Amino acid sequence: MVRKERVRKKYDRWSRFYDAFDLGGVNDQKKLAVDLLELSQDSLVLDIGTGTGAIIPYLASKLGKNGKVIGIDFSEQMIERANVRIKKQGIGSKAEARVADATAMEYPDRHFDAALATFAFTSFPEPEKAIAEAARVLKPGARFSVLDTGKPPGKAGFRYRYLKAVMWRAGYTNISLDVPGLLRKSSFKIIKLHRFSGSFAYICLCEKT
Ligand SMILES: C[S@@+](CC[C@H](N)C(=O)[O-])C[C@H]1O[C@@H](n2cnc3c(N)ncnc32)[C@H](O)[C@@H]1O
């Protein structure tokens, strides 16, 4: 089985207990990633690799009746859960979750006003392709907020090397992927790189050029 299919099946299996892990929940890091988008009420926003769609209600809370958030994920089971959440919260008029591959989306060029990707690219089998696709569907000037994990600046310590090995084995996650570097190489200008102290997480806020 190709790696992409293995990863997709893994997330299908994990969807049942994904929200029990901190990564699947909504924390201050994810909220800050959304806040930095400075959405307007009528924004059309894309959440790439939405998982169970945990952040969708927070995104939707920033929008008015003409705004919309679309969460995409290639795991059918994740999307099923995201849609149950949307229904339960009664936000179906401004949110939807769809099964889609982030490397080949059905949306036209320059379609979205903003996008979010939380803990997505380091777990994607083809991150470069997904970043190029995000660039394609975003309007020029659109903000893209990426929350992910990476090598902390300075000397990478034992903790990081250990975590990297564990993460790779457990989830095919490449936590040392240089996502800001890939964004820069694609058509994004980095506005801000916010590192959380005592954490491997960072937010890379960029703008589509
Ligand atoms: C680590 S989870 C992050 C989920 C959510 N954004 C969060 O912060 O909890 C990564 C998600 O990306 C999805 N994914 C991986 N490769 C993908 C692809 N090519 N297209 C769409 N989704 C993908 C997985 O199915 C999984 O739900």
User: Structure pTM?
Assistant: 0.94
The pLDDT of residue 2 is 87
Strand 138-149, strand 201-208: pairing: antiparallel
Cα 75 to middle of ligand 1, angstroms: 8
CA distance 9 to 39: 33
Element (H, E) at 167: helix 158-171
Measuring from atom 9 of ligand 1, which residue has the nearest CA?
A: 24
Please give all residues whose beta carbon lies within 6 A of any atom in ligand 1, as ranges: 7, 11, 23-24, 49-51, 54, 72-75, 78, 101-103, 118-120, 123-124, 130
Q: What is the CATH number of the domain that holds 39?
A: 3.40.50.150
Q: State which residues form the domain around 36.
A: 3-208
CA distance 71 to 53: 7
Which among 19, 30, 9, 3 is positioned nearest to 148, based on CA atoms?
A: 30
Cα 171 to middle of ligand 1, angstroms: 11
Measuring from atom 15 of ligand 1, which residue has the nearest CA?
A: 124
Q: What number of other Cβ atoms are within 10 A of residue 197's Cβ?
A: 5
Q: pLDDT tens digits, residue range 156-167?
A: 566 677 777 777
Percentage of residues of the chain with pLDDT beyond 70 = 93
Given a cut of 90, is residue 138 above it in pLDDT?
A: yes
| Mean pLDDT calculated for residue range 154-177 | 72
The domain tally of the chain equals: 1
CA distance 12 to 77: 5
Which among 25, 26, 48 is positioned nearest to 127, based on CA atoms?
A: 48
